[in-house]
Structure 1
Amino acid sequence: MYLAEVLRLEGRGDHIDFDKCARCQVRSADHRCSDCLAGGELLCASCLVEAHRQLPLHRVEYWTGSEFERKTLKSMGLRIQLGHWTSFNRLCSVPTPASGDDFIIVDSNGVHEVGLDFCGCGQAELPTVQLLRGRLWAATTTNPKTAATFAVLRRYQILSFESKCSTQEFYESLARLTDNLQHKKNRNKDEENARLDKKRDRYPSFLLMMKQWRVIQMLKRAACGHDPLGLSNVREGQCALLCPACPQPGKNMSVGWQDAPPDKQFLHALFLAIDANFRLKRKDVSSEEKDPGLGRGWAFYAEVVAYMKHVRKHWKQKQDRSHCVAHDAVDKPDREACGTASSGVGAVDCARHNMKRPSAVGDLQLGERYINMDYIFFRSVAGTELVRLFVSYDIACQWHIHLWSRMEQYENELLVLPGFAGTHKRFVTFLVPKFHLPAHIEACNLKFSFNLTRDVGQTDGEAPERGWANANPLAASTKEMGPGTRRDTLDDHFNDWNHKKTIGLGYQLRKKMLNAVPEMVKTRLALSDMEESLGAEPVAEWTEMAEKWEASSSSPNPFETQRKDEHLAKVRGDLAAEAAQREAEGGGDASDVKGDMHITELLAMGLQLEEQQRTLGFDVAATGLHPTNDQRRAMIERTSKLRRKIFAWIEVQMKFFPGVADEREQEDNRRARAAEAEPVPGLKVSDIALWLPSAIVGAGGCSGRVVCKDEVLEHEYRLRVGQAHETLHEVRRLLLVRTHLYKLKDTHARGVRANTRSADKIAALNDRVKRAAAGYRTARAALVSLGGVLKRRDWEWELLPLREEDVRGLPPKRAKITREERELSWIWISRGSQAQPGDDAAMNEAVRIEWAKARARAMRWREEVDLLEEEMQRVRRFLVWREGWWMEQVGRKRGLDVAEAEGETAYAKRQAGVQRELRRLFDIEWDGLPDLVAAGRLGGGGG
């Protein structure tokens, strides 16, 4: 039906039986307009022209007798008359045809050739002014022959914001609407086959008009047209839309914010996020001389002359290499810079609301160099009255180290707030975004974490990444632009991004609050339950420790292990270093070295083989009685490989302990007999005895056939202590992970599939717990043998027997559990080597760290609720201030004619009304939230 109706419209349709014009009823009805809502009505040429006096850009068609052909209103005699209206409500006109009478207007319907007359009377304005008053944007101020409608410029601007299409792509679509038979335009002057009529190709003109439109609209929305001093008084960053939720003294801060108590100062802190984008590069085309741009640092881009002067002045500044992991941004600043005039863009955003900051964007020349990022950071905070800043940057751990000494070099050119350099260390906190932090070393994860830092709420620092995701599609077009056009375009897009984020603040803050209040209650109750199970004494001690660390980072960190158990790798390193030192001093025992292997290396390799045997035994048991062919093949291959390793190790062992050969021979006989009865030969390789020194002394020195020196036993003793600590630590870690998986399963797993997947993960984790526990028991059994010979009993206080019932996690919260289950297992109790039997055992550091994390989670969510509450109030105050600010623009200019004054007044009042309407909508959006917050603070979740 749809197809049939569409084809029917190609003919005269319902008008097929009407020969006379529907209006005059005299002349033949053979013309129609395809753009009018009543498209299809057949009129005569005269009536159609008369009906389109105010619609000169519509497309009309002529019925030839068998089909419709396109026709222009100009060819039918319609002309556009510009001029001014008289007191008789008529357009005053003394027609003066446009030069050449081939005027082109670009409209949403295509590229139109029109007949246009300017007013030539004595009161006529300049042709450009006449075009503008007709809502036509002139391509030039001298003898204009091309214009674009305001509507098409506005349409493309919005379209580019949402789709990021280029100007050329948009213009090509208009050209195809005009004539879809033309192929893609090749503007090379030597191209002879292009079917486009050269005189109607207005792409360069449209490009220029769009560039002007963007900047003029930006100036208009910043009330620059209301300034009596005009554009000469536009300040740097004035045209950038501000974030209503960020603290801005004089605009949205509460009365007396400077005197807020220390525990509430974070509510008035500025959260900044710094990042660079290497997708938004620009090719080495054009130049500042050819394309300086229309904006001069009026919005987000820092003023280019001062910025480039700074870059050139400090270009040779040396950049220290990273002390963290190898960050390319630090160690390889020249990445992807080849062949580009700009290798990317650096920017500063507000970290909590994801909006670009004024004067805080700059082009990068050679990657993410400090001289660029320093400039845009200091420009973004220059002149601020705020004294508390949180700064997020993915390489903050390296960038901040010499930042203040660099600032002293820049201070004269960056106009940093006086006194800022002297007080910065007390007020600025540097952090690494949450997503980027795991890629840093452990020390950075403790020092620069949002989760562990006080007063940051649930800020994640990843705001710039979200903004880049919106801007990245622009890269395809902006990389080909000149420097000025590119800056103007990005400024326009960043302004639109801030606009969309502003009008979305009502929903976003409400959504965050609805999530934050229940989480605040949940984490507070979890912390309370944990502290109840731990007791008041350790909680008080740890709270004091946490508060001292929060006040001074030089104090012990409650999230960090203070007592470092010597794990296996550490012991191996110490033993190797001691052996090397003895050999260097000439005091080494020759019997400790056979070939190129030291006795400590042999023992360490033996412990590794022992672990591999244990792992293989667990894996074989996990396959069950009926393994698949792939499982059977994999186990046989692993068994054969491990057997070869063991036999190679035994050959070396015989050189150190020749007396073990007799035991080996007896063992080989037993293994041969076992293999005859075993249908899968070699599957029991995990049972091969390695006869390490602990096993030898445990078997009575193999009845006197093998002698182990005390030094050798001491070596294995130290290795076994390290192995026991390491496996016990692994047991604790896996139990904490298992607790986390149980929580996830209870909270999120819904349905058979999700529950089965969660159960499989937990089952696999339980197998790893059993394997780690078995490793601990093996190490402890060896220590029993070695300790008896060496007369060492100090390890017994730290490393107790591990029963099955001891392998359990921390006591569950708010659950019906037995008294025994509520008591902590000894594995969570710290029994350090300095402690003595009978001393009061302090809680294990793992428990303290778990408590510290629970406390941090509860504090972050409470802070988040406080911050959201304050931000909502700041948004309201900002909108009130902005409404009043717009009203203050009324009447600023003097000496205007009545029409101009009325226009400026109307615009200012309309913008004031926009702020008022936003405030009304936000109040509706946030209705009921204060009650929710109050209920959450009193203890209820608020649902």
Structure 2
Amino acid sequence: MRGIRPRQQTLRPVQPSTFWRHFASCAPSQNINVQDYVRTLEKLTDSTGLEKVPDRRVAFGRMARQYSYLKMMKRGGRGHEANGIVTTPPGALAVRCWACPDASRNLPSGWDKVPESKAYLYKLMLAFDANFRLKNKLRAGERMDPALTDGLGYLPRSGPYKEHIKTLVDEKDVQACAAFAALLQKETKLTTGLRRRTNEDNGRGYRRDIHQVDRIRLQYGLPVWHAEAHDPKCRIQFALRYLLGVGKTDGESTERLWSLLNPASWSTKEMGEGARHDVLEDKIDLINFEKNRSMGQLRRLIVAVAERQRQGIEFQELDDSVPKKKRREWAKMMDAWYKDNTQTNPFEVQGGKLAGPSEREISEELKRAEVEDARAGIKPLLEGKMTITAFIRAGMQLQAIQRRIRTALKAKKSADQASQIQELRLSLIKQMRTFEKLQLTYMPGVQGLRDAAV
């Protein structure tokens, strides 16, 4: 052992580009910012903190932004164009949705000449929403931090966007919002103002401008989740679930985008305008790519086809149970309302509150109908201890007890609560046995179903 020297380990230096690529891969998917990443590298260099490690945060941040910018240009194919970077048109770097209809990519010839009944197949659906979580502090030195991808991807160009906002802001808005005051160069404290890239005022301008586009037919609708917060009459009139040509579209695609972008808001709100712009562009770029990649999964198509068949069978059974005369009346009302929405809305419940008649009102109506049928001799009187309406209510009460037991079982239980659940179960069993005997009277075919199930 005396003549053996310890083996020396030589650490291979890592190229700076390795860190850029690693950071560019982690930042959009893991919401990592430059400061935290560089601090991690410093800890790896000297975990004790006893040595002075040069601060490379600013330089690394600039290089990382340039690296992401050049990668977007490369993916956008700008290297194949003469003066590709300089001549990049607005929005050219955005990853396009493969499913959205585009006459230059995925629409058949003659798509614009199809009959009205088939026009929904080529309808472009756009969602518009405001996000107040992705706020950004106003900075005094914003002019020194321009965005590299200004207007080339998903977000609009900063200059024209601000000019557009100025046309929609009145003095009342300026007094209420420091961001508007700063935009119009009013006196304000920059540190207290907040900038929102998308806001409701811009929504008014968007709607006004888009009406001026020729050859575009617009149809407005409320997303399924947001519609519940609107006035009932507004909801019934504009809810997506009642509009033609939208199918099961819920209109909440922007909410899914916000759920992926909002975790980055805690760091982007501290960035300058340009850095924040580039970070959001990079993040949205990844989200769009992942969305396109997931569209080709065969599992979703298999589930959709099976679900379509099941829903079709159930709908046909329900449709067959409706009298033909009543079905024709409903169809006539729907056709009239779709042609002119000032007509009677077939989706609005008539009578009572907008939520419809109460259980008590329905019960009273059934009792009156049962008495009238008995007087007229339309149906034979059953030899039971209760009316048919009371029998139905008894079944609904049993279902309510079952739901109570299921809900109680999911929660944490004390000894007393567990005892109460057992008492509920015992009471349910007794009532079920009584109800099963009544079924033989009020549901004559139930015995055959029981025998077949054995």
Shorter chain as normaliser: what TM range?
0.7 to 0.9
Residues 1:515 and 2:382 aligned together: no
Determine the structure 1 residue equivalent to 2:325: 537
Residues 1:168 and 2:35 aligned together: yes
Which residue identity does 2:209 align to in structure 1? M
Which residue identity does 2:118 align to in structure 1? K
Residues 1:373 and 2:203 aligned together: yes
TM-score by length of 1: 0.37
**How far did 1:238 drift?**
0.5
Determine the structure 1 residue equivalent to 2:234: 444
Separation (CA, whole Å) in 1 of partners of 2:80 and 2:36: 35
Determine the structure 2 residue equivalent to 1:598: none
Contact persistence 1:438–1:445 (CA under 8 A): yes
Which residue identity does 2:234 align to in structure 1? C
**How far did 1:229 drift?**
2.6
Which residue identity does 2:249 align to in structure 1? T
Contact persistence 1:446–1:559 (CA under 8 A): yes
TM-score by length of 2: 0.73
Separation (CA, whole Å) in 2 of partners of 1:234 and 1:310: 22
**How far did 1:528 drift?**
2.5
With over 3 angstroms needed to count, the CA separation of the structure-2 counterparts of 1:168 and 1:222, relative to structure 1, is same
Which residue identity does 2:196 align to in structure 1? G
**How far did 1:258 drift?**
1.0
Percent pairwise identity: 26
Alignment of 1:902-917 (within 5 A): none
Q: What's the secondary structure of 1:539's corresponding residue?
A: helix
Alignment partner of 1:435 out of 210, 217, 225? 225
**How far did 1:236 drift?**
0.5
Residues 1:251 and 2:105 aligned together: yes
Highest RCO, 1 vs 2 (Cα 8 Å, sep ≥ 6): 2
Determine the structure 1 residue equivalent to 2:209: 407
Determine the structure 2 residue equivalent to 1:888: none
With over 3 angstroms needed to count, the CA separation of the structure-2 counterparts of 1:725 and 1:473, relative to structure 1, is closer
Unaligned runs of 5+ in 1: 1-15, 20-27, 36-54, 58-106, 108-147, 184-194, 320-331, 347-367, 379-402, 568-723, 768-803, 819-943
Separation (CA, whole Å) in 2 of partners of 1:516 and 1:317: 52
**How far did 1:469 drift?**
1.3
**How far did 1:478 drift?**
0.9
Alignment of 1:478-493 (within 5 A): 478-493=268-283
Determine the structure 1 residue equivalent to 2:139: 285
With over 3 angstroms needed to count, the CA separation of the structure-2 counterparts of 1:451 and 1:206, relative to structure 1, is same
Residues 1:305 and 2:136 aligned together: no
Contact persistence 1:286–1:483 (CA under 8 A): no
Alignment partner of 2:250 out of 439, 460, 482? 460
Separation (CA, whole Å) in 2 of partners of 1:442 and 1:266: 26
Determine the structure 2 residue equivalent to 1:728: 361
Residues 1:149 and 2:5 aligned together: no
Separation (CA, whole Å) in 1 of partners of 2:142 and 2:179: 22
Alignment of 1:491-506 (within 5 A): 491-506=281-296
Compare CA radii of gyration and give the structure with the larger one. Answer: 1
Alignment partner of 2:150 out of 293, 296, 305? 296
Contact persistence 2:29–2:286 (CA under 8 A): no
Contact persistence 1:214–1:489 (CA under 8 A): no
With over 3 angstroms needed to count, the CA separation of the structure-2 counterparts of 1:537 and 1:288, relative to structure 1, is same
Contact persistence 1:282–1:340 (CA under 8 A): no
With over 3 angstroms needed to count, the CA separation of the structure-2 counterparts of 1:460 and 1:545, relative to structure 1, is same
Contact persistence 2:330–2:346 (CA under 8 A): yes
> Relative to total residues, which structure has the larger strand share, 1 or 2?
1
Alignment of 1:805-816 (within 5 A): none
Determine the structure 2 residue equivalent to 1:126: none
**How far did 1:176 drift?**
1.1
Contact persistence 1:287–1:483 (CA under 8 A): no
**How far did 1:314 drift?**
2.8
Contact persistence 2:337–2:346 (CA under 8 A): yes
Q: What's the secondary structure of 2:128's corresponding residue?
A: strand
With over 3 angstroms needed to count, the CA separation of the structure-2 counterparts of 1:550 and 1:816, relative to structure 1, is farther
Which residue identity does 2:27 align to in structure 1? S
Separation (CA, whole Å) in 1 of partners of 2:163 and 2:22: 38
**How far did 1:308 drift?**
0.9
Contact persistence 2:178–2:194 (CA under 8 A): no
**How far did 1:488 drift?**
0.9
With over 3 angstroms needed to count, the CA separation of the structure-2 counterparts of 1:266 and 1:294, relative to structure 1, is same
Contact persistence 2:130–2:200 (CA under 8 A): no
Q: What's the secondary structure of 2:18's corresponding residue?
A: helix
Alignment of 1:565-584 (within 5 A): none
Which residue identity does 1:314 align to in structure 2? L
Residues 1:31 and 2:8 aligned together: yes
Separation (CA, whole Å) in 2 of partners of 1:732 and 1:473: 53
Q: What's the secondary structure of 1:502's corresponding residue?
A: helix
Q: What's the secondary structure of 1:282's corresponding residue?
A: strand
Q: What's the secondary structure of 1:157's corresponding residue?
A: helix
Determine the structure 2 residue equivalent to 1:344: 196
**How far did 1:228 drift?**
0.8
With over 3 angstroms needed to count, the CA separation of the structure-2 counterparts of 1:234 and 1:18, relative to structure 1, is farther
With over 3 angstroms needed to count, the CA separation of the structure-2 counterparts of 1:438 and 1:732, relative to structure 1, is farther
Unaligned runs of 5+ in 2: 181-188, 367-388, 411-419, 432-437, 448-454
Separation (CA, whole Å) in 1 of partners of 2:364 and 2:251: 34
Determine the structure 2 residue equivalent to 1:398: none
Separation (CA, whole Å) in 2 of partners of 1:742 and 1:547: 38
Separation (CA, whole Å) in 2 of partners of 1:30 and 1:531: 83
Alignment of 1:122-271 (within 5 A): 149-182=16-49, 195-197=51-53, 200-271=54-125
CA offsets 1:420-467 (integer angstroms, 9 cap, x no match): 5xxx5xx32212221222222211221122222222121111111111
Alignment of 1:388-407 (within 5 A): 403=207, 406-407=208-209
Residues 1:272 and 2:126 aligned together: yes
Separation (CA, whole Å) in 1 of partners of 2:288 and 2:164: 28
Alignment of 1:830-869 (within 5 A): none
Separation (CA, whole Å) in 2 of partners of 1:334 and 1:729: 52
Separation (CA, whole Å) in 2 of partners of 1:155 and 1:287: 30
**How far did 1:518 drift?**
3.4
Contact persistence 1:286–1:482 (CA under 8 A): no
Separation (CA, whole Å) in 2 of partners of 1:817 and 1:528: 23
With over 3 angstroms needed to count, the CA separation of the structure-2 counterparts of 1:434 and 1:511, relative to structure 1, is farther
Q: What's the secondary structure of 1:248's corresponding residue?
A: coil
CA RMSD of the aligned region, Å? 4.1
